[in-house]
Structure 1
Amino acid sequence: MNVQAKQPATGLAGLESRLADDLSLLELPPKEWVPATEYDGKRVYDAVVIGAGMCGLVAAASLKMLGIHNVVCLDRAPQGLEGPWVTFARMETLRSPKQLTGPALGLPSLTFRAWYVAQFGQDTWEALGKIPKEQWMDYLVWYRKVLDLPVRNCIAVTGMAPVNDDLIAIDATDFASGKDERLYARHVVLATGRDGLGRGYVPDFAHHVDRRFWAHSADDIDFAALKGKRVAVIGAGASAMDNAATALEAGAAGADMIIRRKEMPRINKFTGISSQGVVQGFAGLSDDWKWKFMDYVLGAQTPPPRDSTLRVSRHPNGRFFLATGVTGLREKGDGVIVETSRGDLEYDFVIFATGFRVDLDERPELHHFAPFIRFWQDTYAPAEGMENGELATSPYLGPDFEFLEKAPGSCPSLRLVHCFNYPASLSHGKLSGDIPAVSDGGRRLARGIARSLFVADRETHFANLVAYETPELLGDEWTDSAAMLDDLEKGAAE
């Protein structure tokens, strides 16, 4: 009888089979080791991750790979819309080079490249330039599925407060059911993105103008309504270019880039020195050196991607106004006047691509903890000429991304809340907001939480050590020669 060998699966199914084999060979994920705990009749989560975008998924996966399984990610967005990739990120492709391993946690079969080649082939991969943002979102959806990560969508965290020094209560609203609920967690991870500790920043003068005339670049903008309109975009970064291009592609009569600098930045400084030295070593720098690195990078600014800039300039009605500072905004009839250093400019709509600012009043989940959080301005005074408001309001974090108290002893449970989002950059480097080193950030975070959980449960673990009585030797593996000799001597004496 001829028995044909089973053919290995191909395509995505084959990749998933290969990943399962890799995980099995590495004995991943390990068995659960954290003792189960309850409070108020409910199982306490070992960690609750707020946010299920890229950083939230990496955080959950990193914890799982250390045997911490009692975890859940909460995200207010529907499944497939987590993070910025298909919402307010309006670029056509990612900025990062396609070969970066990003969230793969050191597993070749978990990389975007493996996922892409499995479906479209090696030749197509070779021909690919940058990764289309929609495909990156599809990859993250697959990443969540193939690692079986626990995510609850359409649920918003509305508040957090300590139950005691070792436990946090989390209030949330489930949009699907409309019901409020309370969860309990031993650790909370804020994987909440660029605006994770605040909101999009716009100059104060904009708030005196009706919102129908302006938006922040991260807002949900109806670009179809801008058809035939005159649009101004304030800023020169990636989001500025992508919003201007989207407006032009939607049929805007024109989009003017209003840029304060005389020249646009051209060199991405941090990319130029990217290495495992920076990834692993930045957190070991003194405060002086951390500030020096980040102040220089922020001062140099990150240039917009070449493709995004060409996406604007290919339109004859896409214009660039350099060396043009914006000083005010006022309404005029059915439009607005943008007051600039070059004089008044008239538009129908303005998009502020002016970044994000820390503002804890905008974060209901941090309402209780906000007064106790230590920021860099509470600890560090920069040298004259190196003052930087954005850095000053960055959280001053511990080695595991945990918040620290402004006054020691004022809020002991604050150490249980971990800031795994973009504002962590001054303390840890760019490990919790961008693609390149997010796996390193996730592993650093997870190791810290694992250490904290083990130390907290030390009495239980010691009791388990004492109680463990499974023998490796049964007693029949050897003969006691000394006893035999004693018997012989005893016999001789008799």
Structure 2
Amino acid sequence: MQTNDRSPIDAQGLDVLEARLREDLDFLCYPGKDWVPAQEGVSDVVIIGGGMCGMVAWLGLTTGGVQNIRVLDRNPAGLEGPWLNYARMETLRSPKTLTGPAFGHGALTFQAWYRAQHGREAWEKMDKIPRPMWMEYLRWYRKALNVPVENGVSVDKVEPEGDLLRLTVSGATERTILTRKLVFATGRDGTGGPNIPGFIKDLPRRFWAHSADEIDFDALKGKRVAVIGVGASAVDNAAEALEHGAGEVRHLIRRAEMPTINKMMGIGSYGFTAGFSELPDEWRWRFMQYSFTTQTPPPHGSTLRVSRHPNAHFHFGKATQRIEERGDAVEVFFADGTSYVADFVILGTGFTIDPMARTEFGEVAGKILLWEDVYTPPKGEEQADLGRFPYLNPDFTFREKVPGEVPWLSKVYCFNYGASASLGKVSGDIPGVSEGAAWLAKSMAATLYAEDLETHWQAMLDYETPELDGSEWQPSELTPAKEGQVA
């Protein structure tokens, strides 16, 4: 007797997978009961960012019955997040088996999506997830769940209006939006922006770009390209330049040697995800500071993508001090007294966390409580960049430097990379994002319920729907027992 051990999701097409997903959601009574009292003209939640974090945050909230939500993204549909914008790696670093934003639904995982189209054999042969394919999956995720992302809409300013927040926006049908809660699901640069070192700020823009910029790599054909840094973004941009015909690419690396061990990957677990936020400040700082100091290495495949070119070079111990214009080129000067002449410079210097860089807050950004305001590390554990991370409440909300000065910050949630120093890797990276979304949804639902407590109490008092109609029983008389008589 022939058996078929093929999984039901194998190569039967996305229509079959989506039907399975809908049935699973129906079994779980999704979406949850809408219990938040409506306020005319007011959203319960606005989520800035329609990429992975924004969509799974929406799923978490709607699962819990918070349904009056708007999701805004400044990018065109299908281009949310970094994947087809400034991300230039060939594959994701994360293992293909991670469930990512699936929020506990097997039919919503990347694996289910891939196997529904290509089957188990192709899945088992795949090593890493190609970056453009991850974006295809996220597009399907949005379609399968009908996530109501409003594209081409930017939030320009956030300010209080009574108990609400008023958002000034561009690209929407209205000029402003009123909401009770605001979520920044804005990714890697969500609480800051690209890290632009001081040594390059005065250099004309035609000579340099940050790895997060839109770069004309075709224009680098035959050119001498200096790439400052050796992290993931640095090597991916170096590879792009080489593959577009750059004459030579030289990595200019401050460190004495190549980082090779991803320390955070070595301790990743549900325990770390759940327990990090409960640790004392000194331990949270210690974990993050050590990760910063040792540096996450570039992926194996990305590094080989560069080194296989004979005109690619890695120079260690080259701390850049200044860069000067030299006609149609620039000269890069290093701390060791040497220099290098290049035609173009790419900064692979990552992102900085700095709430002051977020124009949405205006001057209030300077009133957000930061780690440097709260914690002084012991000698040897100093880290200025880490000190600029926001010091968040356990529910992802911002805190004020001076209590009572900007209380409305407690209505704004930091569900992006900026939360990692306070709450761990649960709001930006693939491994823990579903756990983070569940945490965010529970915290926000609790706050919304407490804010409407009197309304919910009155609803309980007013509830008059009987479960019994009187036909379920028959009253009878109880005859009292006489003295000394056993009943």
1:243 paired residue number:
237
- Distance (Å, rounded) in 2 between the aligned partners of 1:180 and 1:28: 30
Are positions 1:326 and 2:320 aligned together? yes
Task: Give, in whole Å, the separation in 2 of the partners of 1:345 and 1:228.
Answer: 17
What's the counterpart of residue 172 of structure 1? 169
Of 368, 372, 389, which residue of structure 1 is paired with 2:367? 372
TM-score by length of 2: 0.95
The 1:382–1:122 alpha-carbon spacing in structure 2 relative to 1, beyond 3 Å, is same
2:283 aligned to 286, 289, 293, which one?
A: 289
Cα distance in structure 1, aligned partners of 2:267 and 2:357: 34
Aligned residue in 2 for 1:44: 42
Q: Tell me what 1:99 maps to.
A: 97
Of residues 394, 397, 418 in structure 2, which corresponds to 1:399? 394
Any conservation in 2 of the 1:161–1:368 contact (CA below 8 Å)? no
Structure 2 counterparts to residues 380-395 of structure 1, below 5 A: 380-395=375-390
The residue that corresponds to 2:25 in the other structure is 23
What corresponds to 2:434 in structure 1? 439
**TM-score of the aligned structures, taking structure 1 as reference length:** 0.93
Number of aligned residue pairs:
473
Hey, what's the Cα distance between the residues in 2 that align with 1:167 and 1:264?
A: 50
Deviation at residue 275 of structure 1 after TM alignment: 0.5
- Pick from 305, 309, 312 the counterpart of residue 311 of structure 1: 305
> Alignment partner of 1:481: what SS?
coil
Residue deviations 1:360-390, cap 9 Å, x none? Answer: 3432211153132100111111112211111
Alpha-carbon distance in 1 for matches of 2:156, 2:293: 36
Are 1:454 and 2:487 an aligned pair? no
Quote the residue 1:137 is aligned against: 135
Query: Aligned equivalents of 2:355 and 2:159: distance in 1?
Result: 15
Output the CA distance in 2 between the equivalents of 1:322 and 1:10: 51
Preserved CA contact (<8 Å) 2:358 2:365: no
Q: Is 1:472 matched with 2:467?
A: yes
- Which letter does structure 2 place at the counterpart of 1:82? E
Conservation of the 8 A alpha-carbon contact between 2:355 and 2:366: no
Kindly provide the amino acid, as one letter, of the partner of residue 160 in structure 1.
V
Q: Which residue of 2 aligns with 1:417?
A: 412
The answer to whether the 8 Å contact 1:205/1:329 transfers is yes
Task: Find the residue that maps to 1:475 and give its secondary structure.
Answer: coil
Q: Which residue does 1:3 correspond to in 2?
A: none
Distance apart, 1:180 and its partner CA: 5.8
Note if contact 2:232-2:298 (Cα within 8 Å) is conserved in structure 1.
Answer: yes
2:380 & 2:100 partners in 1: Cα distance?
36
Instruction: Find the aligned partners of 2:355 and 2:376 in 1 and give their Cα distance.
Output: 22
* Cα RMSD, aligned residues only: 1.7
Q: Distance in 2 between matches of 1:89 and 1:204?
A: 24
Asked if the contact 1:324/1:342 (under 8 Å) is kept, the reply is: no
**SS in structure 2 of the partner of residue 271 of structure 1:** helix
Q: Distance in 1 between matches of 2:92 and 2:204?
A: 33
- 1:357 corresponds in structure 2 to 352
Quick one: which amino acid aligns to residue 168 of structure 1? Answer: L
Q: Which structure 1 residue ranges, 5 or more long, are not aligned? A: 1-6, 490-494
- Shift of residue 342, structure 1, vs aligned partner: 5.3
The sequence identity of aligned pairs, in percent, is 52
**What are the superposed Cα offsets for residues 60-97 of structure 1, whole Å, 9 maximum, x if unpaired?**
11111111111111111001111000110000010000
Q: List aligned pairs for 1:7-156, cutoff 5 A.
A: 10-38=12-40, 43-156=41-154
CA distance in 1, matches of 2:377, 2:199: 29
Instruction: Verify the 8 A CA contact 2:416 2:427 in the aligned structure 1.
Output: yes
